Structures are given as C-alpha cells and as structure tokens.
C-alpha cells in the first residue's frame, strides 16, 4: 500500500512500494561498514555526493529517482536515514507535522491582531478562522443578552448525546468572559457556513421562522432556545441542527447527536489579543470508522484530512448570511 508523507511541510507525496524498497536498500548500504556513507563528504559536497553515492551503491539514479532523493532530503522519509547519518540532520529542515495544538494569534480580516474589547457583541456577521489546520474553520463569537450587553459564559459540562460522554467546556474569555470559539463544521453531516451560523437574539423568535432565506430557523430551534433560556443560537440550515453557544455549543435540537467542538481561547489582558490554544469536545470530522466519535480532540490534527497546521497566526474571514 502506498504510504503518505509530508514534503515541504505542506504537500503530500505517495511512497510507492518500489520507493520503499529503494529506501530500504539505501539504508542498508549506509549502515554497511564497507559502503559507509561519508557524512563529511556529504556536508561539504551536498546532493552531488548523495547522488553519486546512491548511484554507486544502490544504482538506478535516473531523473525520477533524483527528484525522489531531493524530496526525501526535506521529507519525513529521510528522518529514517538521518537517524543513522547524523550529518543529515543539520541540513534537513525539521519536518513540520502537527504533534499538538499550536498557540495561534487570531488576526482580523485585515491581518492585524484582533482586539477582544472591540469584538462586536451578538454580531450577525459570520466570523471564522482556521485552526488548528487550514481547512478547519471555527466561529469566533462575542456573546451577549437580548439588549446587546456582553454576558459572561461560565464553564460547564457538555454531554455528547450520541455516546453519553461528557467533557468540560472552559467558559468564555476576554474582558467580559463573553468570547467563545466553536468549530463551524456542523456535527451532523458537515455543513459549513453560511449554512451553519449564529442567529443573534433578534432572529430567535417565532416571527422569524417564516422569514425569507437564508434565515431558516425552525419552530423547534426557537422553542429549544426558549426552553434553554438562551437568547441566541447556532443553527445549521442544512437539516435544522441547533447548538447552544452559551453552554459549550451543546446540542439543542437534532439531527446532530454531537456538540460543536470548542476551540480553547486565551486572552492576553495586556495586549487585548486573542489566541487559540487547543480544542475540547468530539473531533470536528471525521468520526472514527464505526461512526462513533473517539472523544479525542487530537483527531483534529489529521493533516491528511484538513491540510497543514495554521502555525502561529490565523486570520478571520467574514460573511454576512443575512445580506440577501
């Protein structure tokens, strides 16, 4: 079976079985005292030495193999080689794989650090940022009451209806503890904005249920918000799933049986900047193979699904779902 690996921190390559056999052979001759790889020569002569060495000891260095060798110089496969040839390590940039959640500064849509105290309360504008990977988008919300005053969002325990599992939502951050971030990927079947978005208080009433698109609130969603005593909701217009942004994006109405995962935020009170620092809750997507989420947020780090890490900065993009 072909093996995927990272190249240049972004692209994906497939190692075919012939490439693996080639690598295996290469490692063997490098280990052999009779054909020992000369690190000093490699460091001083660079890739020419490597190509000659491979040609003389393994053979078959055609154009394709040269490119492959160049690739492994900066790819993950070479770490196997680098393990026995320490000299390689100094020439090869470290492979950028996501081994954990980065601490990522959130920028506004102009590329400047977003200031928590200037974030509009109950904004109908969809504000999303990618995190922890480039194709994983998340809502940034400053929650308020019916009158538009920010409200403190306390920590709470969130239940995953599908499994009965529970996890701890850490609560809001910022000067009023009212700022939260959740995955913007609906946990029913994966709809993304503008189909799923925040409905501010003025939209969460029965009179809005018959409003023209894109406002597609259902009676059930409005009633669920009322029962939960929350003034606003996140609603997915695809099939009607409703989430409670004041309580960890818990499920208010199905068909979803999974809350929206939480992106853990940190607020720096000295700069007013916001950082994404982690995630809790069920994985954004995919679910594990049996259709039951693993409850392990590290599934968010699967780069084969969601692209490269965002790194230390991520930028907001904005859409108005009520503009048409």
**Chain positions contacting ligand FES, by CB under 6 A:** 186, 188-191, 196, 236, 238-241, 255-256
Q: CB 143 → ligand FES: shortest distance, Å?
A: 21
For residue 215, which phi and psi values (nearest 5 degrees)? Answer: -80, 105
Q: Is the Cβ of residue 176 or residue 241 nearer to ligand FES in the bound state?
A: 241
Cα–Cα distance between 145 and 292 in angstroms, integer?
Answer: 35
Residues 281 and 275: their CA atoms lie apart, in Å, by: 18
Q: Is 211 left (phi over 0), alpha (psi -120 to 50) or beta?
A: beta
Q: Which residue number, 151 or 236, has a Cβ lying nearer to ligand FES? A: 236
Contact 265, 179 (CB under 8 A): yes
Query: Whole-angstrom Cα distance, residue 142 to residue 148?
Result: 10
Least CB distance to ligand FES at residue 182 (A): 13
Closer CB to ligand FES, residue 131 or residue 285? 285
Distance of closest approach, residue 160 Cβ to ligand FES, in angstroms = 16
CA neighbours closer than 13 Å in the CB half-sphere of residue 172: 23
6 membership: H or E segment, kind and range: strand 3-7
Residue placing its CB nearer to ligand FES in the complex, 188 or 197: 188
Shortest distance (Å) from residue 254 CB to ligand FES: 8
Query: How far, in Å, CA of 245 to CA of 231, rounded?
Result: 10
Question: What is the closest distance, in whole angstroms, from the C-beta atom of residue 84 to ligand FES in the complex?
Answer: 49
For 47, the token pair is: 């890739």
Query: 10 Å Cβ neighbour count for 242?
Result: 25
Nearer residue to ligand FES within complex by CB, 57 or 223:
223
Q: How far is the CB of 153 from ligand FES (least distance, A)?
A: 23
Rank residues 119 and 236 by Cβ distance to ligand FES and give the closer one: 236
């Amino acid at each position: 079976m072909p093996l995927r690996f990272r190249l240049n921190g972004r692209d994906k390559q497939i190692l075919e079985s012939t490439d693996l056999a080639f690598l295996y052979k290469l490692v063997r001759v490098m280990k052999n005292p009779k054909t020992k790889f000369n690190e000093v020569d490699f460091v001083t002569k660079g890739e020419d030495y490597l190509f000659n060495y491979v040609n003389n000891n393994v053979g078959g260095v055609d154009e394709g193999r040269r490119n492959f060798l160049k690739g492994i110089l900066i790819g993950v496969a070479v770490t196997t080689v680098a393990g026995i040839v320490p000299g390689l390590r100094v020439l090869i940039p470290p492979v950028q794989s996501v081994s954990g959640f980065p601490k990522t500064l959130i920028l506004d849509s102009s590329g400047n650090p977003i200031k928590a105290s200037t974030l509009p309360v109950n904004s109908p504008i969809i504000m999303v940022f990618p995190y922890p990977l480039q194709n994983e988008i998340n809502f940034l919300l400053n929650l308020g009451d019916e009158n538009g005053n920010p409200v403190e969002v306390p920590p709470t325990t969130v239940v995953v209806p599908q499994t009965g599992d529970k996890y701890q939502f850490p609560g809001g951050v910022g000067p009023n503890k009212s700022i939260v971030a959740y995955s913007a990927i609906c946990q029913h079947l994966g709809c993304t904005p503008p189909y799923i978005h925040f409905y501010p208080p003025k939209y969460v009433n029965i009179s809005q249920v018959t409003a023209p698109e894109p406002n597609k609130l259902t009676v059930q969603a409005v009633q669920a918000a009322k029962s939960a005593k929350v003034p606003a909701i996140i609603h997915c217009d695809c099939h009607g799933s409703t989430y409670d942004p004041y309580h960890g994006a818990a499920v208010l109405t199905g068909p979803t049986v999974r809350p929206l995962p939480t992106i853990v935020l940190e607020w720096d009170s000295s700069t007013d900047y916001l950082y994404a620092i982690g995630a809790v809750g069920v994985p954004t997507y995919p679910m594990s193979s049996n259709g039951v989420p693993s409850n392990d947020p590290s599934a968010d780090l699967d780069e084969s699904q969601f692209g490269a890490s965002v790194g230390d900065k991520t930028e907001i993009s904005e859409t108005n779902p009520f503009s048409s």
